[in-house]
Amino acid sequence: MTDLSHLDDQGRARMVDVSSKTDTTRIAVAAGELVTTPEVVALVRADDMPKADVLATARIAGIAAAKRTWELIPLCHQLALSSVKVMFDFTDTSITIEATAKTKGPTGVEMEALTAVAVAALTLHDMVKAVDPAAVLDGVRLISKEGGKRGHWTRDDAPGRDGTPGAGEQPVEKTGRSAAVVVASTGVAAGTREDRTGPLIRSWLEDKGFAVRGPLVHADADIAAGLADAVRPGPTLVVTTGGTGASPTDATPEATLALLDRELPGIAESIRQRGLEATPHAVLSRGVAGLVGHTVVVNLPGSPGGVKDGLAALDPILDHLLAQVAGGGAHE
């Protein structure tokens, strides 16, 4: 059994001596969510809560908390943080929070990232409690970390909100595969349209045993930052929906191409071909697919029909594709 680092040989709590460790760049990403009502989500998106500037206030609170983690958690070291970023996204019934903390030093910044998420979420709760006093802070967890002798670590599971399947849910087979769903829609981000595609993709992925993050919703103008954020923790798969057409605001393909290390043009063509069987408008989709490191990124259209066609095209090749990306799979 591995010894706990914060206990001495007599079982007493201690502050770990890191003076002999090498200074390296260390980055940690943590996430969580405030589960609330669709009304609150719409109000926050529209910046129409009784207490204004909800997200800005929560962001500042999270950053300030990360900087003071050593005062809040008794055995943490005082770190010179290079950067703390706190970002928010939305689902129909939650506000998701992700924090990235960075430093160069002898010890990691996991606790700073986790503290930023927790305090940002508590601040959100304080800001929305007049409308929804039953809001729940949930799922605060470390997503990834890098630096130090252990190198890069990425979370490969994401349990349900209580750590077990929820009411009416069935446990899924643990595949060790993670995914993120990214929705590009200015209307959904503003709360003026319903997200009709992100939940479809999430459900499909969960049925295949993926631990899924999202849907993460971004306005078209913000999709580049949103996609980079989804890819950063290194999930197995990122599936986007929306922003692939010929409209002046459609920017998902450009945002994707800026990140890709290698394209997988056959996947994008297969998705378009499948869509053409249902509508000639599918030819207008500019969606792309490819690899960012070992993460597969696939663009799907922004309509429910287009998403269903795209998932149908992905279904027979997905396992083989992921096996090849991971270094396995038959090549004959």
Identify the domain boundary among 155, 186, 205: 155
Could you tell me if 229 and 147 lie in one domain? Answer: no
| Number of folded domains that form the chain | 2
In a domain, 162, yes or no: no
Could you tell me if 185 and 151 lie in one domain? Answer: no
In a domain, 66, yes or no: yes
| CATH number of the domain encompassing residue 90 | 3.30.70.640
Identify the domain boundary among 106, 140, 155: 155
Q: Which pLDDT does position 154 carry in this prediction?
A: 72
Q: Which pLDDT does position 151 carry in this prediction?
A: 60
| CATH number of the domain encompassing residue 281 | 3.40.980.10
Could you tell me if 275 and 203 lie in one domain? Answer: yes
In a domain, 171, yes or no: no
Could you tell me if 89 and 182 lie in one domain? Answer: no
Q: Is the pLDDT of residue 245 over 60?
A: yes
In a domain, 30, yes or no: yes
Could you tell me if 234 and 142 lie in one domain? Answer: no
Q: What mean pLDDT is predicted for residues 251-276?
A: 94
Could you tell me if 222 and 132 lie in one domain? Answer: no
Q: Tell me the three-class secondary structure of the chain, residue by residue.
A: CCCCCCECCCCCECCCCCCCCCCEEEEEEEEEEEECCHHHHHHHHCCCCCCCCHHHHHHHHHHHHHHCHHHHCCCCCCCCEEEEEEEEEEECCEEEEEEEEEEEECCCCHHHHHHHHHHHHHHHHHHHCCCCCCCEEEEEEEEEEECCCCCCEECCCCCCCCCCCCCCCCCCCCCCCEEEEEEECHHHHHCCCCCCCHHHHHHHHHHCCCEEEEEEEECHHHHHHHHHHHHCCCCCEEEEECCCCCCCCCCHHHHHHHHCCEECHHHHHHHHHHHHCCCHHHHHCCCCEEEECCEEEEEECCCHHHHHHHHHHHCCCHHHHHHHHCCCCCCC
Could you tell me if 71 and 202 lie in one domain? Answer: no
Higher pLDDT, 167 or 76: 76
The answer on whether 75 is annotated among ligand-binding residues is yes
Higher pLDDT, 45 or 159: 45
Q: Which pLDDT does position 175 carry in this prediction?
A: 47
Q: Which pLDDT does position 326 carry in this prediction?
A: 79
Range of the domain at 279: 178-326
In a domain, 184, yes or no: yes
The answer on whether 111 is annotated among ligand-binding residues is yes
The answer on whether 77 is annotated among ligand-binding residues is yes
Could you tell me if 321 and 191 lie in one domain? Answer: yes
Could you tell me if 249 and 306 lie in one domain? Answer: yes
Could you tell me if 253 and 150 lie in one domain? Answer: no
Could you tell me if 219 and 278 lie in one domain? Answer: yes
Q: Which pLDDT does position 221 carry in this prediction?
A: 92
In a domain, 278, yes or no: yes
In a domain, 314, yes or no: yes
Q: Give the model confidence (pLDDT) of 174-187 as tens digits.
A: 345 889 999 999 99
Q: Is the pLDDT of residue 163 over 60?
A: no
Q: Which pLDDT does position 167 carry in this prediction?
A: 31
In a domain, 170, yes or no: no
- Given the residues 126, 138, 156, 222, select the one marked as catalytic: 126
Could you tell me if 69 and 191 lie in one domain? Answer: no
- Is 229 one of the annotated active-site residues of the chain? no
Q: Which pLDDT does position 91 carry in this prediction?
A: 84
Kindly report the pTM of this predicted structure.
0.54
